[in-house]
Copies of this chain bind each other. A is one copy, B any other.
């Protein structure tokens, strides 16, 4: 019998691959997206249009406005860096973002009777965000099992799945292609044009293009310009 799982799904490359992995692992994926006032709302259009085609049983969009809190190039009037991936945690870091996302996922999981949550975080080819590391995810899982009625009453044990956490971007792309993911239906850019073209120069575009190059595959996304050229 297949089991329900909540999958955090932004419409980007990683979360779309993560959704495909959850499905391939035999879960019924319930996809969850967030409109949080992000600069790159284009990803939500992609998420809405493609969730079911990508295998989701249901797609829930949760809306709140992190611009009220600010503190990030993705939610405040701070420029998105385009000069290449550095060694520090960049200004695109959004304070507590994955914690907020996983908290909503936990709530939905409990209502659905699911005990599995998938998040496509990645600790190799990534931007150095602290809430993408294994020790963070493990601490969230411990907290989740103390936070909820279902866990405390013994109905099950929550597990946060991170199938991409130790993969390079190229490995993620190869895995997704093997599972039939259509990467033309994903959006990664932090600073797209109003028409939804990727900038090709932000960290997210650079990591994506590098991944496709290393995987020996063609990125089907549409770019204004490619930082690698």
Give A residues with C-beta under 8 Å from B. Answer: 60, 62-66, 68-71, 89, 93-100, 103-104, 106-108, 110-111, 129-131, 133, 135-136, 139-140, 142-144, 146-149, 151-153
Contact = CB atoms under 8 A, between A and B. Distances in A.
A131 B227 CA distance: 47
A152 to B, nearest CB: 4
A111 B69 contact: yes
Contacts of A130: 146-149, 151-152
Contacts of A93: 149
Nearest to A107: B96
A111 B71 contact: yes
Contacts of A139: 139, 142-143, 146-147
Given A62-B64, A62-B68, 8 more contacts: A89-B153, A95-B106, A95-B107, A96-B104, A100-B100, A100-B103, A129-B149, A136-B147
8 contacts: A63-B65, A69-B107, A96-B107, A96-B147, A99-B103, A99-B106, A139-B146, A142-B142
Nearest to A63: B64
Given A106-B95, A139-B143, A70 B100 contact: no
A130 B149 CA distance: 6
Given A70-B111, A153-B89, A95 B63 contact: no
Contacts of A71: 107, 110-111
A153 B95 CA distance: 13
Given A64-B64, A131-B147, A153-B89, A106 B96 contact: yes
Nearest to A150: B95
Most chain B CB within 10 A, of A62, A70, A103, A130, is at A103
Contact of A69 (B108, B147, B149): B108
A133 B148 CA distance: 11
Nearest to A136: B146
B89 A97 contact: no
